[in-house]
Each structure stands twice: as structure tokens, then as C-alpha cells.
Amino acid sequence: MRIGIVCPYAWDVPGGVQFHIRDLAEHLLSRGHHVSVLAPADDGTPLPPYVVSAGRAVPVPYNGSVARLNFGFLSAARVRRWLQNGAFDVIHIHEPASPSLGLLSCWAARGPIVATFHTSNPRSRAMIAAYPILQPALEKISARIAVSEYARRTLVEHLGGDAVVIPNGVDVDFFARAEPKAAWQSGPGDAAATGAGSGPTIGFMGRIDEPRKGLPVLMRALPAILAEVPGARLLVAGRGDEEEAVAALPPELRSHVEFLGMVSDEDKARLLRSVDLYVAPNTGGESFGIILVEALSAGAPVLASDLDAFAQVLDQGEAGELFANEDADALAAAAVRLLRDPARRAELSERGSRHVRRFDWSTVGADILAVYETVTEGAEPGRSVAADEPAGRTAQD
Amino acid sequence: MTTFIWIAAVVVLIGIYLSWTAGRLDRLHARIDAARAALDAQLLRRASVAQEIGTSGVLDPAASIVLYQAAHAARQAPEDGREVAESELTQALRATLGEREQVAAVREAPAGEQTLAELTAAVRRVPMARRFHNDAVRAARAVRRHRVVRYFRLAGHAPFPLAFEMDDEPPAVLGDPHLPA
């Protein structure tokens, strides 16, 4: 099958959507399909052979932050050229409602179009104002995919219609097979041992200085955890100001926190394989929670805030424990209980490993291909995705 | 003279808008047709595999008859009885293949692995195709409710699009391909 994928965000900037598209493209290529990805990229950046540059993304203030977007005649012309050269059976647009390549391709293409909605932002005023412009473009999409039940609900509320839920994919075996690292594993002592480095380890991953990721909540809970499990260590992987992060912590407890900075994919997998407990205290703004899936893949027992998206990934608490969002006391109580109970942790790890199989690329990729096949099946045979004529003209032919 | 030019310009603009809307609607109707064709194909596939299992004799006679009867009725159903017939097939599938032992029996039959893979794909794709179809119907209805579309009869003779409503909940054992066999 000839598949065209549209990435809305700059290829050289790391991000969840970009990684998802990279993994999807590589999965489809490995299954023998022809794949071309259209993505914004600076002219100099080295790109994988399957990526076509749509030109440089321009930083513009949008929706409260600076977004790097593609628009204008030049980008639109590149989209058209890509569509004409590609002769795709289906195109898959990511984030079609963002004012970037996604929307441009939606506008420019006709034929079987699949779209994935990643974010579940609350409805913005710009979106309401743009609705009449957005709608004619969005109604060309033959199949919508939402990454979680929560994302689907927001999509239905904002734009109407319906979508199928297909979660983001993870290479489960990459995490499951990673080698644990002794330095990140629990010390020789058990939960009762004292002294930093002798007890169990707790993992956290995410931007340190982004409160949304929840490190402050974990820092508030830490004294209570250390009071009960004095030997515990917290391993923090992620960018940000380390001084500021521990500022609220009593000085004598600071040695229990270890900052690892940015870690590579391999180290991330090894860290998740090593820790005794993975904590995700995110306070909001998550539409999926790929990090939880990665932690489950690595067999780490997971304790997460009870956001809608997290509860869904953790099968409503079956595959990992949940605590009341932003409640540091609840977090501390649950963490202490788990750290003291190896049997429960082993049970969570085992259940998580079984549950996480549905997020493996082999399953997710097959589902996405099923969507492609469903939309191309109904289309006229031999008709591929083409650059669209203005609607007025097609009406007369 | 200027007035005349203005009037002409407005008329042309209205004409372009109407033509654009008609084109938009035409495309939506084409999308519904494509989605309906895809849904028909998936439903037919599901009924065929179900009928195959029903006639193969791997299930007990009672289950075989129930499945065969439901699959046959779904394939023969007239247009206005289709939703009911397909829902009944869904229920028959849930009843006959609701337990692991029954699925295992199908798997052990000759070429059973393949039959089961086809059925799993079909019960997964029917809800997908139906969701895409109903999404297209909703989009077309939203445009057709516009005053402009109604007054100028831009929809032409195309019938008012109807959603396809049915029970398409797959048997739990089949719907979750991750369960150990």
C-alpha cells in the first residue's frame, strides 16, 4: 500500500507526535509498505530517507505559547507537489486541526484521508472562531482516530462526529529486554533499611521545571515517604533546574534525590527496568501517557495520578495503582504501602506486562492498517489521493 | 453603472458560494457512499465467516444452527431489516463464541486458525467501518441543514443520509486478541 503521512511539527524537535510518526513509519516500512512522511524541517537537517521536507516551520505565538507552524503559499505548494508525486492510496494526517501542515494537507487533498487527533485541549476561542473555516477541511477526513477514550470524548464535544480509539504504540520488547543497571536498582537493605542508597528506588521521568509533570507533588510527598522508608532513593530523569527542584526539601533529605539529566532511549529503558516503583504524578494536560506504557513494558510497578488518560492506560487501576491527583499525602501513603509490599509490586508488574501487550506496535500497527484498508476499500478502485480542485469546479464535472 | 457592477459582483459571489457549497455537499455524499460500501463489505465478510463456522460442524449442533441461521438472515436481509438482522448476528456470535473453549474448538479444526483470524478481523472492522460511515452521515446532515442548502435545493435528489445503527460489540474473547489462547 502507498501511504503518505503528514507530521505537523518540526521533525528535528523531539516530541511525542514526532516519535509516534517515526515509529509508525518504520513499522509500516518493515511490513513492506511504501511510506513517505511530509514534515517541516530546516533545510540543513539530516532526514531519514522516507521523510520529505515541507520547508522551515515559522515560530508564531499561538494558543498561549510559541508554536512552530507551516503556512502560506510556499508550504501549500509543497503539499500539493508531495501529493502529486506520491500517488498515495491513503494519506494519514496527524493533528489536522492545528493551523499547520495538517490543516493544509486536509485542505489540499481529496481521496481516502485518515486523521489522528493526539491532543485533547480544551476548546480554544480561536477554534470556535475558525470553526466555519475548519469544518469544510475536516469533513473530508474519511476516518478519524483518537489516541485515547478521553481524546475521543473531547473530539466529539468540539467537532462532533465520531472516532475510533487506537492507542499510541510502544516497542514493548525494547523495554522488556533492557538490561537493569545495578546503580539504579534497590540497595541491599529492605524497606526498613536506613541510609541513602540502601533501600528501594523510585523513578520519575519528565521535565523538572514543568509543574504539569508533577515533580513538585512528588517532592511534597517525599519527606513522608522517607520517614517510613528511610533508605529509599528517588531517581529523576529529565531536563530542568535541579537546585530549584529540591529547594522545598529539607537539606538532610536532598541526598536521597539523584538527578540523571536527559537520558538516552537505552538508559530510559534500563532505568525503568531497574526501579522498584515508577511514579507519574502529572497534574493534567495529558491525553495519553506514553511514559506509563513504557514503564509497564519494562515491568515497573506504576503509581500514577488519577487523570482520565492515565486511568485508561492503567485499566482503571488494574495494571497500576492510582492516587488522587495533586494529593501529596495520598501519593506518599500509596508509595509507602507499595514499597513495603514486594508481593503486591510483583503482582502489579506481572499484570502490567500482560496488559501492555495491546500497546505493542504489532497490535497498534495492525489496527491502523485495518483503518487504512477500511477507507480504501470503499473508495473507487484505482483512485488514489490527489491534489484537490476547488470544490466549485468538481461539482460540475 | 456602478450600481450595476456592484449588483453583478454580488451575484457572481453568491454564485461562487453556492457552487462551492454544492461541491462540498457532493463530496460528502461521495464519502458516505464510499463508507457505506466499506461497511457492506465488512458486514458481508463477517456473515460469510460466521456461516462457514456454522456449517463446519466444529461447534455443537445447537450453536451451529443458531450461528448459521443468524448469518443466513443477515446476508439475505432486505434493506430495511438489515440493522436488526446484523445486530442479531452480533448477538449470535457473542452467544456461540463467548467462551474460550468454543474459540479453542474452532482453532483446532483444520484451517481453524485462519478462519478465526478472519472472524477476529471482521468483528474488529465492522465497528470501525460503521463509525466512519456514521461520522460521514453526521457531517453531511450538518451541511444539509443549512438554510442556503435547503432554499436552493443544493442537495438535489440525494436521499437524506441515515446512520447505520446496530449492536456491534464483539465477543469478549475474540475482541481482545491479546488474551492467551
* Domain carrying residue B53: 38-142+160-175
Residue A124 pLDDT: 65
d(Cα B17, Cα B24) in Å, to the nearest integer? 10
pLDDT tens column, A186-210? 766 555 555 555 689 999 998 888 8
Q: Which residue has the cell 488519577?
A: A306
- Is residue B95 situated within a structural domain? yes
Closest to A203 (Cα-Cα) out of A122, A291, A133: A291
CB pair distance less than 8 Å for A139 and B121: no
Q: Does domain A172-357 have CATH number 3.40.50.2000?
A: yes
- Same fold? A2-169+360-396, A172-357: yes
- Across the A/B interface, how many CB contacts are shorter than 8 Å? 96
Q: Which residue has the cell 522517607?
A: A226
Q: Does B109 touch chain A (CB under 8 A)?
A: no
Looking at the DSSP bridge assignments, the partners of residue A394 are none
| More confidently predicted of A304 and A118 | A304
Bridge pairing between strands A257-261 and A277-280: unpaired
CB pair distance less than 8 Å for B23 and A380: no
Residue A145 pLDDT: 94
**Domain assignments of chain A as residue spans, ordered by start:** 2-169+360-396, 172-357
Residue B90 pLDDT: 94
> How many domains does chain B divide into?
1
Mean local confidence (pLDDT), A366-383: 82
Q: Does B37 touch chain A (CB under 8 A)?
A: yes
Q: pLDDT tier at A394 (50, 70, 90 boundaries)?
A: very low
Mean local confidence (pLDDT), A338-362: 91
Residue B21 has pLDDT above 70, yes or no: yes
| More confidently predicted of A247 and A372 | A372
Residue A61 is inside which H or E element, if any?
strand A58-62
Give the three-class secondary structure for A139.
Answer: coil
Residue A34 is inside which H or E element, if any?
strand A34-39
Nearest CA in chain B to A369: B125
Q: pLDDT tier at B181 (50, 70, 90 boundaries)?
A: very low
User: Strand ranges (DSSP E) for A216-358?
Assistant: 233-237, 257-261, 277-280, 302-305, 321-323
Q: Which residue has the cell 511514579?
A: A279
Q: Using the Cα atoms of residue A363, residue A368, residue A372 and residue A378 in order, give the sign of their dihedral.
A: positive
Backbone angles phi, psi at A30, to 5 degrees: -65, -20
- Is residue B125 situated within a structural domain? yes
d(Cα A62, Cα A69) in Å, to the nearest integer? 9
d(Cα A201, Cα A387) in Å, to the nearest integer? 55
* B contacts of A392 (beta carbons < 8 Å): 16, 19-20, 22-23
Mean local confidence (pLDDT), B43-50: 94
pTM metric for this prediction: 0.84
Residues near A208 by beta carbon (within 8 Å), at least 6 away in sequence = A215, A236, A238, A239, A240, A241, A242, A244, A245, A259
Mean local confidence (pLDDT), A298-324: 91
- Is residue B65 situated within a structural domain? yes
pLDDT tens column, A39-55? 988 877 888 999 998 88
CB pair distance less than 8 Å for B20 and A378: no
- Is residue B147 situated within a structural domain? no
Give the three-class secondary structure for A279.
Answer: strand
- Is residue B98 situated within a structural domain? yes
CB pair distance less than 8 Å for B20 and A390: yes
- Is residue B165 situated within a structural domain? yes
Residue B111 pLDDT: 82
Residue B178 pLDDT: 46
Q: What is A2-169+360-396's CATH number, 3.40.228.10, 1.10.3720.10, 3.40.50.2000, 3.20.20.140?
A: 3.40.50.2000
Residue A161 has pLDDT above 90, yes or no: no
Closest to A300 (Cα-Cα) out of A351, A232, A237, A349: A349
The rounded mean pLDDT for chain A is: 85
Q: Using the Cα atoms of residue B56, residue B57, residue B63 and residue B65 in order, give the sign of their dihedral.
A: positive
Q: pLDDT tier at A22 (50, 70, 90 boundaries)?
A: very high
pLDDT tens column, B143-164? 888 888 888 888 777 788 888 9
Count the neighbouring beta carbons within 10 Å of the beta carbon of residue A322. 19
Backbone angles phi, psi at A235, to 5 degrees: -105, 120
User: Taking an 8 Å Cβ-Cβ cutoff, which residues of chain A contact chain B?
Assistant: 110, 112, 135-136, 139-140, 142-144, 160-164, 354, 357-358, 363, 367, 370-371, 373-375, 377-380, 390-396
Q: pLDDT tier at A125 (50, 70, 90 boundaries)?
A: low
d(Cα A7, Cα A12) in Å, to the nearest integer? 12
Residue A115 is inside which H or E element, if any?
strand A113-117
d(Cα A36, Cα A105) in Å, to the nearest integer? 14
Q: Using the Cα atoms of residue A71, residue A167, residue A346 and residue A229 in order, give the sign of their dihedral.
A: positive
Residue from A106, A134, A139 to probe the interface with B (highest B Cβ count within 10 Å):
A139
Q: What share of chain A is helix, strand, coil (3-state, %, to 5)?
A: 45, 20, 40
Nearest CA in chain A to B34: A378
Chain B nearest-CA distance from A374, in A, is 6
Q: pLDDT tier at A308 (50, 70, 90 boundaries)?
A: confident
Mean local confidence (pLDDT), A366-390: 78
CB pair distance less than 8 Å for A162 and B139: no
* B contacts of A378 (beta carbons < 8 Å): 33-39, 41, 129
Q: Which residue has the cell 494536560?
A: A285
Residue from B13, B27, B141 to probe the interface with A (highest A Cβ count within 10 Å):
B27
Mean local confidence (pLDDT), B100-105: 83
CB pair distance less than 8 Å for A160 and B127: no
* A contacts of B170 (beta carbons < 8 Å): none
Residue from A140, A158, A164 to probe the interface with B (highest B Cβ count within 10 Å):
A164
Task: Check if the beta carbon of residue A279 is closer than 8 Å to that of residue A335.
Answer: yes
d(Cα A364, Cα B132) in Å, to the nearest integer? 18
The identity of residue A285, as a single letter, is G
Mean local confidence (pLDDT), A85-102: 87
- Is residue B33 situated within a structural domain? no
Bridge pairing between strands A277-280 and A302-305: parallel
Mean local confidence (pLDDT), A373-379: 85
Residue A91 pLDDT: 93
Percent above pLDDT 70 for chain A: 89
